[in-house]
Amino acid sequence: MSKSLKLFGGTALGTLAVLTMAVNFADRNIAGFPDNPAVMTAIAPPEPANSGLLVSTANASTDGSEGKFGLGRPALPEEIAAWDLDVSPDGTGLPVGSGSVADGEMIFSENCAVCHGEFAEGVGNWPELAGGEGTLADEDPVKTVGSYWPYLSTAWDYVHRSMPYGNAQTLSNDDVYAIVAYILYSNFLVDDDFVLTNENFLDVEMPNADGFIIDDRAETEYSIWRTEPCMENCKDSVEITMRATVLDVTPDEEASTEAEEMIEAAAAVTETDAQPEAEAVAEAAEESASDAVDPALVAAGEKVFGKCKACHQVGDGAKNRSGPVLNGVVGADIASVDGFKYSKTLAEMEGDWTPEALAAFLANPRGYAKGTKMSFAGLKKEEDIAAVTAYLSTFE
């Protein structure tokens, strides 16, 4: 017998022995399938509580009877109340409470301004809550509580249910009333002494209350859509209608670098960060408004104006938003923009927006005109005020 035959023969005998042992072990130690296996008894679904809400809907059982999982229980009234938060357009579900514009301003500043701005103008990509009046027909409408939402109950319900972001449902009912009152005030829908309550809630008229229609597309349009889809040559031509830069999501690195250099050049004029004195700032503003306006200062002012453009527009086609158009503001009469609803304070104020007046107002809006709807804290740097005044002076 050759060496290879002996090797393979030994391996085969070893394998056979292992298989034999495995069969004997399985035969002795593994139970067979029962003749009459137990099965799970089918049961009827649980009867819902009055609210239709169950903590668990998986075969809820409270009596421990045979054949039921014993999972879940009917929801308690307190648990139902915790979920039952919705408020309907007719006021159903609205709790008793009240809140003033004045209180709302403080609560909004503490809880909402970090995302929505001090006067509801929106910060970054967070939504604007104020402004947009008359823009719904525009190509790029500004949809806010004042310009778009048809029911005030939607604002109350959303604030109560979901805000502040990351800390939802921590506000009291009175806090929610106050915040909603301030949002209305920011949209010029109520006066600064307004107090919103559950009793006068439905008296507030929303500008776009009649701007929605019944969605009848299922009856009028679905049959048109349900046809064979076009797969090629579906349009005569394809055109680009909007670019990402319009949406402020594509940064212009070259322009940004140039602006930063101009800002640094303008900032080099002074090294102080102290509160500006009106006379010194006015003098700088008068020089900037002259025929020889420093281009670097104007560029710096355009950058500073970024803090203002959420509410104010300048240039061709500028429109009133939550703040008035600022074309020609330097030297103009106070509260003189046609069609804009000013606060009572500014409407009754006499005088012009001289460089001195602008300097004092931009440094401390609330201190200069107590009761103004402009809740912006003000520009703290002298060079910023001079720069933005120079920038505004270029628009007539």
For the ranges 5-14, 177-186, 222-231, which has the lowest average pLDDT? Answer: 5-14
What's the DSSP call for residue 306?
Answer: G
| Model confidence pLDDT, tens digit, residues 281-290 | 555 555 544 4
Judge contact between 370 and 393, C-beta under 8 A: no
For the ranges 45-49, 122-126, 169-173, 293-297, which has the lowest average pLDDT? Answer: 45-49
Look at the alpha carbons of 95, 99, 105, 107 in this order and tell me if their dihedral is positive or negative: negative
pLDDT at 288: 45
Cα–Cα distances (Å) from 266 to 9, 96, 290, 313, 363, in that order, read 96, 54, 17, 23, 18
| Model confidence pLDDT, tens digit, residues 80-90 | 888 888 899 99
Say whether 18 sits in a helix, a strand or coil: helix
For the ranges 239-253, 306-320, 381-395, which has the lowest average pLDDT? Answer: 239-253
Average pLDDT, the chain: 78
| Mean pLDDT, range 238-260, rounded to an integer | 60
List the domains of the chain with CATH numbers: 44-84 (no CATH), 98-203 (1.10.760.10), 253-392 (1.10.760.10)
Q: Is the pTM of the predicted complex or chain greater than 0.75?
A: no
User: If pLDDT is split at 50, 70 and 90, which confidence band does 270 have?
Assistant: very low
pLDDT at 287: 52
Judge contact between 184 and 99, C-beta under 8 A: no
pLDDT surpasses 70 at 202: yes
Say whether 328 sits in a helix, a strand or coil: coil
How many residues in the chain? 396
What's the DSSP call for residue 205?
Answer: P
| Model confidence pLDDT, tens digit, residues 50-109 | 444 444 444 444 454 555 677 888 899 998 888 888 899 999 999 999 999 999 999 999
Percent of the chain with pLDDT over 70: 69
Percent helix, percent strand, percent coil in the chain, to nearest 5: 40, 5, 60
- Higher pLDDT residue, 266 or 354? 354
Nearest Cα neighbor of 375 from 2, 102, 149 is 102
101: Cβ contacts below 8 Å, ≥ 6 apart? 178, 181, 182, 184, 185, 190, 191, 192, 193, 194, 195
Percent of the chain with pLDDT over 90: 27
Cα atoms in the Cβ-side hemisphere of radius 13 Å centred on 141: 13
Residue indicated by tokens 């104006």: 305
pLDDT surpasses 70 at 275: no
pLDDT at 176: 97
Strands (E), 90-155: 98-100
313: Cβ contacts below 8 Å, ≥ 6 apart? 319, 320, 321, 325, 326
